[in-house]
Amino acid sequence: MDKKTINIQSLKYRFRFSGLRLTLLFIVLTFFGNACIEPFFAEIEEETKIITIEGSLIKGNDVQTIIISTTTSLVNQKFIPVRGCDVKVIDELNNSFTFDENVDGTYSLAIDDTDLVYDRQYRLNIVTPTGGKYESEYEILNRSVAVDTVYYEVEERIETYTGDYMEGVQFYIDIRAEDSTSRYFRWNLSETYEYTTGGPISYFFFDTSLEPIPPRNIWAVFRCWITEDIQGLYLSNTINLTINEKRKIPLQYVSAKTDRLKIKYSLLVTQYTMNEGAYNYWEQNKIATQEPGGLYTQQPSRPLTNLYSVNDSDERVLGYFWASSRSEQRIFVPRINSLNVHDKICELHVFDILEDGEGPFPIYVRVDEETGAQMVGNPYCFDCTLRGGSTTKPDFWK
């Protein structure tokens, strides 16, 4: 089994240990000097199929999306859509908005902004092809609160298993809102960064011959921009505070061990204000994934949903329907010279028809400027789009 010794510092971040649990581990590691984390497999035999309804109404989004699926086993995790449902959002004035299924299990509709009114209540109404009827309680559409400040600090961390130091950038957000607005916040994060391959493509080799690349295309897949949603639940509230203001709430940490910070990095923070019910639902989900078997954690709870089955009040329904509005802030992180950003080194070697000529094709070739040798290597070193990025510069890129 893959055994790993752990480093206390890394636990803070990697496993989101905090407070007592972290202090406990700190004591263990200080006094007894050993602790160990290793994979754990439970033999779960239960087969569950519980309907999961994820839906939100976000004022400011072009398209509203409701996703209906069922739970999946932990062993073979996959998205199991529920197709062919009747999906409607109804407001308190009885205006009804019917959603269409574009992708399996994903129902969407562009609702006119004028129909999404602050403080108005909305609810979800679903009928599955098998006749299951599900409804949500009325949810009020929260007013948006502008993002106050998103900022970052260069911080050191320790890697979980190696215990090595690493540097990187920790993002923070501050809340500054009127007391009259919601005190529950959630953030979705999306990162975009620019990256390049090691150099241009001189030729490509297809079947048996080297084909020159048209000069305009030599640099075509050299530079890319990639945008990815960051996983994780980022939540905070100000209910324990005298004013609706909170500072230095940690968001994402970006390590200099990847090349994300090499050229330019950008984080888009989308802030949602929520009702207490929706917030608690997400917060309980967050707690539940932390350490269910811990001695200093609470028992995982069943997050209280606002969805229920009309036919069978005992049926469990997962998910939450919430209504909110969004505000955004984007922050750019230019190359930080003091940071020793990992420079992805592409190991190239001289092209050998016998060893390299079997494909897969095309085989990219770069002519070494000094020696004139034909160099080949991992295709990622030649085509930036292979990592999932796009060569089109995003509109917001500065």
Partner 1 sequence: MKRISISIFLCFLSLVIYSQETFVLNRSYSELSFIELVRELEKDEGLHFYYMPEWLDSIYVDFVVQETRIDDVLEAVLKETGLKFHIEERDIYIYEGNPIVLQLPAFKSFQKKDPVISFNRNDMADNESKYLETQSMSEENFITIGNMKNFRNGRRAAVRGKISNKVSGESLIGATVFIKETGAGTITDVNGFFELKLLPGKYRISVNHMAMKEMEYGLNVLSDGALTIELENELIELQEITVINKRNDNVKGMLMGFDRISTKSMKEIPVVMGEKDILKVAQMLPGVQNVGEGSSGFNVRGGSADQNMFYINKISVYNTSHLFGFFTAFSPDIISDFSLYKNNIPSKFGGRIASIFEINTRLGNKNNFFAQGGISPITGHVSIEGPIVKEKVSFVASYRSTYSDWILKRMNDQDLQQSNASFYDGTLGINAELNSNNNIRVFLYQSSDMFSLSERNDYQYSNTGGSVSWKHSFSNSFSGDFSVSSSNYQFSTNDKNNITEAFTHDYYINHSEARADFLSVKSENHRIEFGVNSILYDLNRGDILPYGDDSNRIPISLGKEQGVENALYISDEFGLLPRLNLLLGLRYSHYAQLGPVDIREYTEGMPKNKYNYNETISFGSGEIAKTYSGFEPRAALNYGIGPKSSVKASYNRLRQYIFLLSNTIAIAPNDQWKLTDYHIAPPVADQLSVGFYHDFRDLGINISVEAYKKWINNVVEYKDGADFISAEPLETQILQGFQDSKGIEFLLKKTTNRLTGWLSYTYSRSTVLVDGIFDEEKINDGLPYPSNYDRPHSLNFVSNFRISRRLSFSSNVVYTTGRPVTLPIAAYFSEEQQYLLYSDRNEYRIPDYFRIDLSVNLEGNLKYKKVAHSYWMLNIYNASGRHNAYSVFYEVEEGQVLGYQLSIFAQPIVTLSWNFKFGNYNSD
User: Among residue numbers 279 through 318, which ones bind partner 1 (CB under 8 A)?
Assistant: 280, 284-285, 287-302, 304, 318
Within 10 angstroms of residue 301's Cβ, the number of other Cβ atoms is: 11
115 vs 291 by CB, closer to partner 1: 291
85: which DSSP letter?
A: -
96 vs 289 by CB, closer to partner 1: 289
Beta strands 149-158 and 4-5, pairing class: unpaired
Q: Is 41 in the site for partner 1 (CB under 8 A)?
A: yes
Report whether 316 contacts 244 (CB < 8 A): no
313 vs 371 by CB, closer to partner 1: 313
Find how far residue 191's CA is from the centre of its chain: 9
Within 10 angstroms of residue 321's Cβ, the number of other Cβ atoms is: 26
Q: Is 24 in the site for partner 1 (CB under 8 A)?
A: yes
Choose among 272, 269, 268: nearest CA to 397. Answer: 268
Which among 12-20, 133-141, 260-268, 368-376 is the span making contact with partner 1, rule CB under 8 A?
A: 12-20
The site string for partner 1 over 70-89 (x = CB under 8 A, - otherwise) reads xxxxx--x-x----------
56 vs 197 by CB, closer to partner 1: 56
211 vs 276 by CB, closer to partner 1: 276
Please tell me the count of residues contacting partner 1 according to CB under 8 A: 81
15 vs 380 by CB, closer to partner 1: 15
8 vs 221 by CB, closer to partner 1: 8
Query: According to CB under 8 A, which residues from 208 to 237 bind partner 1?
Result: 229, 231-233
Q: How far apart are CA 272 and CA 177, in angstroms?
A: 12
Q: How far apart are CA 341 and CA 201, in angstroms?
A: 25
Q: Is 385 in the site for partner 1 (CB under 8 A)?
A: no
Which among 19-27, 201-209, 260-268, 360-368 is the span making contact with partner 1, rule CB under 8 A?
A: 19-27
Which residue among 18, 95, 149, 311 contacts partner 1 (CB under 8 A)? 18
> If DSSP codes are grouped into helix, strand and coil, which group holds residue 19?
helix
Which among 33-41, 140-148, 321-329, 353-361 is the span making contact with partner 1, rule CB under 8 A?
A: 33-41
Q: How far apart are CA 102 and CA 235, in angstroms?
A: 30
Which among 44-52, 84-92, 260-268, 331-339 is the span making contact with partner 1, rule CB under 8 A?
A: 44-52
Q: Is 387 in the site for partner 1 (CB under 8 A)?
A: no
Query: According to CB under 8 A, which residues from 139 to 198 bind partner 1?
Result: 158, 188
Q: How far apart are CA 53 and CA 88, in angstroms?
A: 13
Place of tokens 């200099």: 256
Instruction: Compute the CA torsion angle 299, 300, 306, 307 (nearest 10 deg).
Output: -130
Contacts 24+ apart (CB under 8 A), 210-216: 210/365, 210/374, 211/362
Choose among 327, 15, 379: nearest CA to 173. Answer: 327
Query: According to CB under 8 A, which residues from 326 to 365 bind partner 1?
Result: none
Q: Is 32 in the site for partner 1 (CB under 8 A)?
A: yes
